[in-house]
A and B are shown apart, each in its own frame.
Chain A
Amino acid sequence: MSLDFEPRPGAAPVPRMVLAQTVMETRLLMRNGEQLLLALVIPLLLLVAGTEATRIVDLGPGRPIDIVTPGVLALAILSSSFTSLAIATGFERRYGVIKRLGSTPLPRWGLLVGKIGSVLLVQAAQLVILVLVALWLGWEPDGGAAAYAWMVVLALLGTAAFAALALLLAGTLRAEATLAVANLVYVLLLVGGAVLVPLSRYPDAAQTFLSVLPTGALSEGMRTVFEGSAPPVSSIVVLVVWAGVAAAATARTFKWE
């Protein structure tokens, strides 16, 4: 049972380290029941409820499922790239995981790439499942393959913006505060962030404000592409600006311990 401790130091190749990090983060994310609830159960419930939605809120002209589905896709992206990521990262800081990994050969940017990689993996699963269920429920998107390609582009832009905001939050607040804020923001945006209810159904005064929120921009983009058009330039600009500003702020403020 004797182990040979003779030193043979060396770092693994960077792609292997980043892959290991991505796999580990994904495993932990999938094990977390609360995060799965946010990532899949709530969006699925909203999708089903959406088919009956006109009885509750006036979504405007058109079939409810066609209006609700793009919003649910946007919500799924918000849940995994903002809420889940913020909470997980907050507790990693609290439990010294990030500190500990700081003394391994894994570079810090590798840690971030691994995190984003696991978010994208989870998101891919979310989007596939939600799209299939929506189609089964009678969703009739326009735009064909191009619309799905735009969906992926918007998902990546949205993830960049939300993930940067998540890390900004998790890197400065205590873990409990991050948990509270991340969940609160999720609920507020779900209800009043122009995610499910189209922007055009909000009062004029609110529309300008909501259209510059990352959720408003992402949802409007999703709705537009599944109506068969290219996404509005404003959506793309808003997401890029949020991603840039939040990433710059995160780079300045993030505390690894």
Chain B
Amino acid sequence: MNSLAVEVAGLVMRYGDTTAVDGLSLTVETGTVTAVLGPNGAGKTTTVETCEGYRRPQAGTVRVLGLDPVRDAARLRPRVGVMLQSGGAWSAAYPHEMLRYVSRLYADPLDVDSLIERLGLGGVGRTPYRRLSGGQQQRLALATALVGRPELVFLDEPTAGLDPQARRSTWELVDELRASGVTVVLTTHFMDEAERLADWVHVIDHGRLIASGSPKHLTSEGAENTIRLSAPAGIDTAGLVTALPAGSQVVEQSPGVYLVSGTVDPALLQGVTAWFATQGVLLDAIAVRRRTLEDVFLDLTGRELRS
């Protein structure tokens, strides 16, 4: 059995003069949760929709479960669940009715009532789709992606517009999917979401893959973790450095705020507090700061706002 659920190689997609996807290659391992992370307009949706068979690759190849999403669409559709970024339901349909209808297109669907309850849509009853909140519409879209018991699901920004509780509940659902052996591909521009959920992260920008790895790998690679502390302004930073393990650095970032970098471990932390004790100076605050995926993301994609 092929261990790759998705293989994208040299994908190019253009709209008029705009190149949305520019020679992108990435893979998704079967049974994992993989996040495709990138700023708006990075080419995430175009890539995912090409995998879903909505668009034909202009160059390069796409294989999903070993099949061509356009040519083998009829064989793939029963096996792949799709959650679009928006829309996808009749405006007058009731959530329960919509989900029951979609479930009838599959051989062995999930129990509609249980799924409705699990996604917190039990209370909406006879509210037509158009009057649901954005978050409720998102959850219905997620339910319709799952109801056919797919082996692979594509979730395009599954938590956009959700409140924090609903977001956490969706995260738990993704964990359950992984535990049940469903391969999950999700796009997001929430760093914490990718870090929390994904086994593997592909960072894309301007239609290109710019980094790839497990969240742990991405956050530790070339990362200088820091200890950040607040104390009176103007302490003897040179004196502090000599008291710390070799290779450590201390800078006064702004008056009274110091950053200690180096191999951040308990010994370093102890060295810092011991030195302050010998000086008889009380620290106002001290915190160990890990590099987050957000730092990685901003380092890679730049910190300026995109228009």
Contact = CB atoms under 8 A, between A and B. Distances in A.
Contacts of A20: 101, 104-105
Interface stretch (A8-16, A42-50, A210-218): A8-16
B117 A1 contact: yes
B96 to A, nearest CB: 12
Contacts of B250: none
Contacts of B104: 12, 16-17, 20
Contacts of A97: 87-90
Interface stretch (B35-43, B145-153, B257-265, B276-284): B145-153
Given A17-B105, A99-B54, A104 B77 contact: yes
A95 B180 contact: no
Contact of B149 (A9, A27, A107): A9
A6 interface: yes
26 contacts: A5-B110, A5-B149, A5-B177, A7-B149, A8-B149, A9-B79, A9-B149, A11-B77, A11-B105, A11-B106, A12-B104, A12-B105, A12-B106, A21-B101, A24-B97, A96-B86, A96-B87, A97-B90, A100-B89, A100-B144, A102-B54, A103-B53, A103-B54, A103-B80, A104-B105, A105-B77
A55 to B, nearest CB: 40
B294 to A, nearest CB: 30
A109 to B, nearest CB: 11
Contacts of A16: 104
A204 interface: no
Contacts of A24: 90, 93, 97, 101
A257 interface: yes
A6 B181 contact: yes
B101 A7 contact: no
Given A96-B86, A104-B77, 8 more contacts: A9-B148, A9-B149, A24-B101, A28-B92, A28-B93, A99-B87, A100-B88, A103-B77
B105 A106 contact: yes
A91 interface: yes
A248 to B, nearest CB: 23
A104 B148 contact: yes
A107 B74 contact: yes
B146 A5 contact: yes
A253 interface: no
B240 interface: no
Contacts of B97: 24, 27
Contact of B52 (A21, A32, A91, A103): A103
> Which 9 residue pairs spanning A and B have beta carbons closest together?
A96-B87, A10-B107, A100-B88, A7-B151, A20-B104, A5-B180, A103-B82, A11-B78, A9-B79
A3 interface: yes
Interface of B: 52-54, 74, 77-80, 82, 84, 86-93, 97, 101-102, 104-108, 110-111, 114-115, 117-118, 144, 146, 148-151, 176-177, 180-182
Nearest to A88: B90
Contact of A3 (B82, B107, B110): B110
A3 B181 contact: no
Contacts of B88: 95-97, 99-100
Nearest to A7: B151
Contact of B107 (A11, A21, A103): A11
B158 to A, nearest CB: 15
A95 B90 contact: yes
B178 to A, nearest CB: 9
Interface string A143-175: 000000000000000000000000000000000
B119 to A, nearest CB: 10
A31 interface: yes
Nearest to A6: B180
Q: Which of A16, A92, A104 counts the most chain B CB atoms within 10 A?
A: A104
B62 to A, nearest CB: 15
B254 to A, nearest CB: 49
B52 A3 contact: no
B87 A9 contact: no
A100 B82 contact: yes
B32 to A, nearest CB: 14
A104 B101 CA distance: 11
A4 B151 CA distance: 13
Given A20-B105, A100-B88, A105 B78 contact: yes
A100 B115 contact: no
Contacts of A102: 54
Nearest to B106: A12
A257 B91 contact: no
B150 A7 contact: yes
Nearest to B111: A3
A241 to B, nearest CB: 33
Contacts of B110: 3-5
Contacts of A31: 92
Nearest to B53: A103
Contacts of A92: 90
Q: Which of A2, A12, A23 counts the most chain B CB atoms within 10 A?
A: A12
B84 A99 contact: yes
A91 B91 CA distance: 9
